Amino acid sequence: MPLRSELTSPWRPGRVTVYGSYPARTTRRGREVVAYDLRFEIDGHQFSRRFNRKGEADTFGKQLDKDFVAGRLFDPQKRVFVEAGDLAPAAPTVLSTTEAFVNERWPGWSPKSRREAVRYLNHARRGVLRDGAPEPPSSVTHYLQTASLRPEAEMDERAAEGRAWLEEWSVAVNEVTPEQARALVQQHAGDLAAASQRRMLADLRAWWRQLLADGHVTRDVFANVKLTGQGKRKASGVQPVDADLVLTPRQVLELADAMPSERDAVLVLVMGYAGLRGGEAVGLTRDDLSSDERGRLWIRVRRSARAEAKQWRAASDDPAWGPAKHRDEGDARYAPIPAGPVARRVRAFADSRPAGALLLTNSRGKRLDRDLWRRRVWAPVRDELFGNDDKLAQLTPHDLRHAAATMWLQAGVSLPLARRWGGWASTSVLLDVYAGVMPSEDADALDRVEQSLSSASTEAGDRE
């Protein structure tokens, strides 16, 4: 059984098994040398320690047996037995309080919030250390990347070494200064977009407010920390769409017709005409599609396939589905497919599915794996349809959403209505992305001005 992240406090074991020392090749100063790993088990949790000489490893193994018989406590971070009297109450540290904060908030956070909070609080765990701390070893990076602040994560031996180093050098929270807080934020802000900078500061401030509420600290060291607002990308964090990668409605239909099955064709049409994201399309059921009296097809978008890794999900989370982007749980938007052959084709496919069933499934009737579909279906069809010299050979499934949005805007659909259909965060984001493909209003505006001037000139001539 591997060491788990909750084993952070010393305890009195009920069973100790020493397996002995085993040779292990390692590199030291550019030379390959032989070291010795002493492997042992404490109450079913496996540990090991490395020694330069076999005699040292064997001596340590014998000492483990003596300490166990003497009734001492085992410290899983240091991997040694200690006397109970040696354990003085420790002051709350950055390491311990960030862990307590995350453990308390974890069930209520979304997977995305968990991932971001862990990322930003790990900056504090590594960056705010006691005076005189040496350069963190590589095991600290390994710990932060694999187990830190993940309540259900398993911690291997190397991660345990990294955590033990942080336990030794993490600073007490009541010793953290405003200067350290400011330096922490400034150090990482430059690598983030402005929106991510704000999220980082919000997570750090939420953690610190909890410390204030618990009485661990008496001043808010993040109160006067300011953001420059200048990150590596612009504040919206979006990039304008490449006009050369925007398909016309006819090209979307040709791509759908080239698909190997009607399921694949319908997926292309739903994304390319209704502007759904891939995860939203995969989450549709037959009941999410309805037609009005004029033959338009309306698609209810209420959920999306989860893309987050398992490490960011709690046991209580739905492992398959989450709310649609920019929507709360249970909230939905409606996206149209105009009346015509495409709407009738998608409607016919939906009618072939059982009531309440997923609209798009794999061969076993289960949820469609988007990554697998992209590799096995999308990429071969795209490569065959567009030559290597054609820029459209770079198309991704998400570019179908751009095709739908461009179709709407070029047809004169207003920005607020297009935003509602497509589920963008704001009209400003929509404008940032699609300004380059929107129809030019210059000619129409000049026609109106010239017509106005012509009328004014005519009226003036009539008065003369």
The alpha carbons of the chain give a radius of gyration, in whole angstroms, of: 30
Distance CA 313, CA 319 (A): 7
| Helix axes of 157-169 and 138-146: crossing angle, nearest 10 degrees | 110
Distance CA 272, CA 216 (A): 54
Mean pLDDT of the chain: 85
- Residue 324: the pLDDT is 81
Q: What would the mean pLDDT of 147-151 be, rounded to a whole number? A: 89
Burial of 462 from C-beta contacts in 10 A (0-12 / 13-18 / 19+): exposed
- Residue 4: the pLDDT is 34
Q: Name residue 361's beta-bridge partners.
A: 367
How do residues 401-446 score in pLDDT, each as one tens digit?
999 999 999 999 999 999 999 999 889 889 889 988 877 665 566 6
Looking at domain 243-437, its CATH superfamily turns out to be: Intergrase catalytic core (1.10.443.10)
How do residues 63-84 score in pLDDT, each as one tens digit?
999 998 888 888 887 888 888 6
- Residue 232: the pLDDT is 42
- pLDDT greater than 80 at residue 14: yes
- pLDDT greater than 80 at residue 30: no
Structure-token match 């618990």, residue found? 214
- pLDDT greater than 70 at residue 276: yes
The values of phi and psi at residue 376, to 5°, are: -90, -25
Distance CA 296, CA 287 (A): 15
Say what the alpha-carbon torsion angle 407, 409, 413, 416 is, to the nearest 10 degrees.
Answer: 130
Lowest mean pLDDT among 19-33, 299-313, 360-374: 299-313
CA angle, 288 then 294 then 295, to 5°: 50
Pull the structure tokens for residue 160: 């345990």
Burial of 71 from C-beta contacts in 10 A (0-12 / 13-18 / 19+): exposed
- Residue 233: the pLDDT is 42
Q: What would the mean pLDDT of 436-459 be, rounded to a whole number? A: 67
| Helix axes of 341-351 and 262-274: crossing angle, nearest 10 degrees | 130
- pLDDT greater than 60 at residue 217: yes
- pLDDT greater than 80 at residue 460: no
- pLDDT greater than 50 at residue 377: yes
How do residues 87-123 score in pLDDT, each as one tens digit?
555 679 999 999 999 999 988 887 778 889 999 999 9
Of all residues in the chain, the percent with pLDDT exceeding 90 is 51
- pLDDT greater than 50 at residue 161: yes
Pull the structure tokens for residue 352: 């072939």
- Residue 61: the pLDDT is 92
- Residue 51: the pLDDT is 86
Q: Name residue 400's beta-bridge partners.
A: none
Q: What would the mean pLDDT of 443-453 be, rounded to a whole number? A: 67
- pLDDT greater than 70 at residue 316: no
- pLDDT greater than 50 at residue 6: no
Amino acid at 373: W
The values of phi and psi at residue 193, to 5°, are: -65, 160
Q: What is the 3-state secondary structure (H, E, C) of 395-447?
A: CCCCHHHHHHHHHHHHCCCCHHHHHHHHCCCCHHHHHHHHHHHCCCCHHHHHH
Sign of CA dihedral 403, 404, 407, 409: negative
The closest alpha carbon to 4, from 50, 43, 30, 58, belongs to 43
Distance CA 425, CA 1 (A): 45
C-beta atoms surrounding 308 within 10 Å:
15
Q: Which residue has the higher pLDDT, 6 or 431?
A: 431
- Residue 423: the pLDDT is 93
| CB contact at 8 A, 189 and 180 | no
- Residue 231: the pLDDT is 46
Q: What would the mean pLDDT of 384-405 be, rounded to a whole number? A: 90
Lowest mean pLDDT among 227-231, 318-322, 427-431: 227-231
Confidence band of 269 (pLDDT split at 50, 70, 90): very high
Lowest mean pLDDT among 284-293, 315-324, 422-431: 315-324
- Residue 311: the pLDDT is 58
- Residue 404: the pLDDT is 96
pTM summary value: 0.53
Lowest mean pLDDT among 43-57, 71-85, 120-134, 440-454: 440-454
| CB contact at 8 A, 144 and 170 | no
Amino acid at 292: D
The closest alpha carbon to 430, from 459, 396, 401, belongs to 401
Q: What would the mean pLDDT of 342-349 be, rounded to a whole number? A: 97
Confidence band of 13 (pLDDT split at 50, 70, 90): confident
Distance CA 335, CA 55 (A): 73
- Residue 291: the pLDDT is 95
Q: What would the mean pLDDT of 143-148 be, rounded to a whole number? A: 92
Confidence band of 355 (pLDDT split at 50, 70, 90): very high
Max CA separation in the chain (angstroms): 119
Pull the structure tokens for residue 264: 């694949």
